[in-house]
A and B are shown apart, each in its own frame.
Chain A
């Protein structure tokens, strides 16, 4: 399918969707205002949260706070997950020792850690960072590990024959060779991080996009629910886009990344 046709179809669909939305809510009232907001109600909610604020802050405050938590949990997960993945990819003993523990922890979905995190760290930021870390940690370990395992033996043997010191080996051979897989892991981690954060904020928090959703649900305020959902979508899209820019920059040498 050609790109032009795709883009054109995208705009047409969007226009159709907006018309459909007007039609069902404002013009005919088939969908009642208590179930789904009309475009006007949505706009009013958006203006309200942008200017006067809602659920304890303006939209920018909530969005920024969520973004900060995701970034922090994500970075901690990458900073711990990638080295661990490199290590167990490299050392068969480390793999054998860590694998059983990993097999026990892995089937527990990140969302199931939320009650424990709240019990341990309360409703503040620390608990959110902990669950995001858990959610993003596993994909980054697994993908880094598989990335290391794809390196061809001759490369490793050549480096060893030349007596490359360990730190140079990790930085100049192991990490670049595993980089494409590391980025695959990061993309999965990022998605997991957003899902987990929204869930954690819905369970309990003071500021954040999830709080907007939660308060709007309690107030039975469909316009604000829609604002919250769209904010989650926009933030998810923006961070994914940012990560793909970084990936293109870092992996410029890799043809596979230029698909």
Chain B
């Protein structure tokens, strides 16, 4: 691009300058009273609140407890999405009839935002655990299904021909040919699903839940406690990032073990 790449020192210097400018504007707006302190606490104020919430309960639980209950729902929703989505995707990739029947349905459902399932989720499964789990499922299911399906559809035809020539049955073909060959695609899908599922969880907890980080934020909003809302945002951001890093690491590990990446 314009000129040579920056040296490491320059990158750090510019990065620091950007950060200082960002935090400087924020602090100035808050301290000067240009934006009322109540609505825009200083960065330090937010950090103080974050540390405070680690031990002091808000909306019935401390921050770690809220996070724990969010994670519990998140894991249930993700497991469900993977356990239903991946096998169904593989089956659709193998049985043409199933593909013909189900593809148009999913094609149509794609346009309905996962969060729009909230009313039915609440009606069918309540607002405790079941409702939010269904929303996470609605967000995380499509990438699980689509990636398993694509993986199965684009398996090297020679592998399938070879296994058919040897008289392999349907079940064994799916389990021993399609599944192993689609692993990279499935793992990539799971990572996308993890991100979307986390998003959906936040949405679900904002609307229907009685615990969790999203619930804490809504309560804080009702009490006009801006530092608590911002603490929730930071906690959600960090947790989402950790999930992504973990899955990236797992993905790299699996790909390396299968000799796909040197």
Q: Which residues of A approach B to under 8 Å, CB–CB?
A: 5-6, 9-10, 12-14, 16-17, 35-36, 89-93, 96-101, 104, 107-116, 118-120, 148-149, 156, 191, 194-195, 198-199, 202-203, 213-214, 216-217, 220, 222, 225, 228-230, 232-234, 236-237, 240
The chain B residue sitting closest to A97, CB to CB, is B18
Q: Quick check: B119 and A217 within 8 Å, CB to CB? A: yes
Q: How far is the CA of A203 from the CA of B117 in the complex (A)?
A: 14
Among A114, A220, A234, contact of B123 (Cβ-Cβ < 8 Å): A220
Q: How far is the CA of A216 from the CA of B232 in the complex (A)?
A: 29
Among A107, A199, A229, contact of B120 (Cβ-Cβ < 8 Å): A229
Q: Quick check: B111 and A233 within 8 Å, CB to CB? A: yes
Given A112-B232, A195-B113, A213-B119, the answer on whether A96 and B226 have CB atoms closer than 8 Å is: no
Interface string of B1-45 (1 = CB under 8 A from A): 111011000110111111101100000000000000001000000
Selected A-B contacts with CB under 8 Å, 13 pairs: A10-B107, A12-B101, A101-B19, A112-B236, A112-B237, A194-B113, A195-B115, A195-B203, A198-B116, A217-B119, A220-B123, A236-B113, A237-B111
Interface string of B112-129 (1 = CB under 8 A from A): 111111111011100000
- B155 interface contact, C-beta 8 A: no
Q: Using Cβ atoms and an 8 Å threshold, which residues of chain B touch A236?
A: 111-113
From residue A165, how far is it (CB to closest CB) to chain B in Å?
15
Q: Using Cβ atoms and an 8 Å threshold, which residues of chain A touch B17?
A: 97
- B141 interface contact, C-beta 8 A: no
- B238 interface contact, C-beta 8 A: yes
The count of chain B contact residues (Cβ–Cβ below 8 Å) is 63
Q: How far is the CA of A198 from the CA of B138 in the complex (A)?
A: 14
Q: Quick check: A229 and B14 within 8 Å, CB to CB? A: no
Q: How far is the CA of A220 from the CA of B22 in the complex (A)?
A: 46
* Besides A9-B101, A96-B6, A199-B115, 13 other A-B contacts (C-beta < 8 A): A9-B104, A92-B1, A97-B21, A100-B16, A108-B236, A108-B240, A111-B206, A116-B221, A116-B226, A156-B1, A202-B207, A203-B207, A232-B111
Q: Quick check: A228 and B206 within 8 Å, CB to CB? A: no
Q: Quick check: B18 and A100 within 8 Å, CB to CB? A: yes
From residue B4, how far is it (CB to closest CB) to chain A in Å?
8
The total number of A-B Cβ pairs within 8 Å is 172
Among A5, A36, A109, A216, contact of B236 (Cβ-Cβ < 8 Å): A109
Q: How far is the CA of A101 from the CA of B115 in the complex (A)?
A: 28
Q: Quick check: B198 and A109 within 8 Å, CB to CB? A: yes
Q: Which residues of B approach A to under 8 Å, CB–CB?
A: 1-3, 5-6, 10-11, 13-19, 21-22, 39, 100-105, 107-109, 111-120, 122-124, 198-199, 202-203, 206-207, 214, 217-218, 220-221, 224, 226, 229-230, 232-234, 236-238, 240-241, 244
7 tightest A-B contacts by CB? A97-B18, A96-B14, A217-B119, A115-B221, A9-B100, A236-B111, A107-B237
Q: Using Cβ atoms and an 8 Å threshold, which residues of chain B touch A202?
A: 115, 118, 203, 206-207
Q: Using Cβ atoms and an 8 Å threshold, which residues of chain B touch A216?
A: 119
Q: Using Cβ atoms and an 8 Å threshold, which residues of chain A touch B236?
A: 108-109, 112
Q: Using Cβ atoms and an 8 Å threshold, which residues of chain A touch B221?
A: 115-116, 118-119
Q: Quick check: B111 and A214 within 8 Å, CB to CB? A: no
Q: Using Cβ atoms and an 8 Å threshold, which residues of chain A touch B15?
A: 96-97, 99-100
Given A96-B14, A98-B18, A108-B233, the answer on whether A13 and B119 have CB atoms closer than 8 Å is: no
Q: Using Cβ atoms and an 8 Å threshold, which residues of chain A touch B238?
A: 107
Q: How far is the CA of A104 from the CA of B15 in the complex (A)?
A: 12
Q: Using Cβ atoms and an 8 Å threshold, which residues of chain B touch A107?
A: 237-238, 240-241, 244
**Which of A10, A14, A100, A107 has its CB near the most chain B CB atoms (within 10 A)?**
A107
Q: Quick check: B114 and A111 within 8 Å, CB to CB? A: no
Q: Using Cβ atoms and an 8 Å threshold, which residues of chain B touch A156?
A: 1
Q: How far is the CA of A110 from the CA of B206 in the complex (A)?
A: 12
Q: Quick check: B22 and A92 within 8 Å, CB to CB? A: no
Q: Using Cβ atoms and an 8 Å threshold, which residues of chain A touch B229?
A: 115-116, 119
Q: Quick check: B14 and A93 within 8 Å, CB to CB? A: yes
